[in-house]
């Protein structure tokens, strides 16, 4: 693969954003691609299913401890070789999550050779609060494609709409809407209409996976992985 693919998956907290990101990572790894997932959520749980339930140190926590951070301190190997990184978050009540993402990624770029060796890098980014910081990976040129996860429920759609408005303000094209079905009445119709209204395409995450989400620190495998070439 000649060009590295870098994508961001946005969505309201609790909508299934992290499990979707980790499932995409797992599926693409199974197809033979080298993959890194970078969790930008302060909960630091983006890669937990890929690591068998294990939590890993975050970049920001180590920086706050004034440690000399090395690649092996923050880059861990999970399911089928997927490289896992967690940014972490600011101390409650102080700092800025967006600024934290920028500092953490700048640190990672300095210390990690692996970052440049990946076919695919997935940024798992929260979208509940759409301050300028939430688009930090895009503003810094780290991401070329953005996907938004939602369901047919009001609050996830509200958050998705705000995220899309934020992306539009920085002239970033939306690559697609992913529906993580919650079995809401007329859900497919609602999400399809929403996707059409913002002039993009949608896909049903539930239709992509095989079996059920296993939980307990494990990740289901998507049936198909879109070609990265």
Q: Which residues are catalytic?
A: 12, 17, 43, 128
Please provide the distance, in angstroms rounded to a whole number, between the alpha carbons at the two ends of the chain: 6
Provide the b/e sequence for 100-137 (b: ≥16 CB within 10 Å).
bbbbbbebbeebbeebeebbbbbbbbbbbebeebbbbb
Do the beta carbons of residue 48 and residue 217 sit within 8 Å? yes
d(CA 100, CA 131): 13
DSSP lists the bridge partners of residue 209 as 222
**Which H or E element spans position 190?**
helix 187-197
Question: 170: which 2 tokens?
Answer: 């920085």
d(CA 200, CA 218): 31
d(CA 223, CA 108): 31
């Amino acid at each position: 693969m000649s060009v590295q693919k870098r994508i961001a998956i946005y969505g309201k907290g609790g909508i299934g954003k992290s499990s979707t990101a980790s499932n995409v990572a797992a599926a693409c790894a199974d197809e033979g691609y080298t993959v890194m997932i970078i969790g930008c959520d302060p909960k630091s749980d983006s890669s937990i299913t890929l690591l068998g339930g294990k939590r890993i140190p975050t970049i920001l926590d180590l920086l706050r401890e004034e440690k000399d951070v090395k690649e092996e301190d923050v880059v861990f190997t999970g399911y089928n070789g997927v490289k896992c990184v967690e940014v972490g978050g600011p101390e409650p009540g102080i700092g800025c999550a967006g600024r934290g993402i920028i500092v953490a990624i700048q640190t990672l770029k300095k210390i990690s050779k692996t970052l440049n060796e990946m076919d695919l890098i997935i940024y798992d980014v929260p979208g509940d609060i759409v301050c300028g910081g939430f688009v930090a990976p895009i503003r810094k040129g780290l991401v070329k494609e953005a996907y938004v996860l939602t369901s047919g429920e009001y609050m996830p759609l509200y958050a998705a709409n705000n995220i899309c408005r934020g992306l539009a303000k920085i002239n970033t094209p939306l690559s697609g809407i992913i529906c993580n079905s919650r079995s809401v009445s007329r859900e497919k119709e609602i999400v399809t209409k929403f996707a059409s209204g913002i002039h993009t395409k949608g896909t049903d995450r539930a239709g992509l996976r095989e079996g059920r989400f296993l939980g307990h620190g494990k990740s289901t495998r998507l049936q198909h992985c879109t070609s990265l070439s």
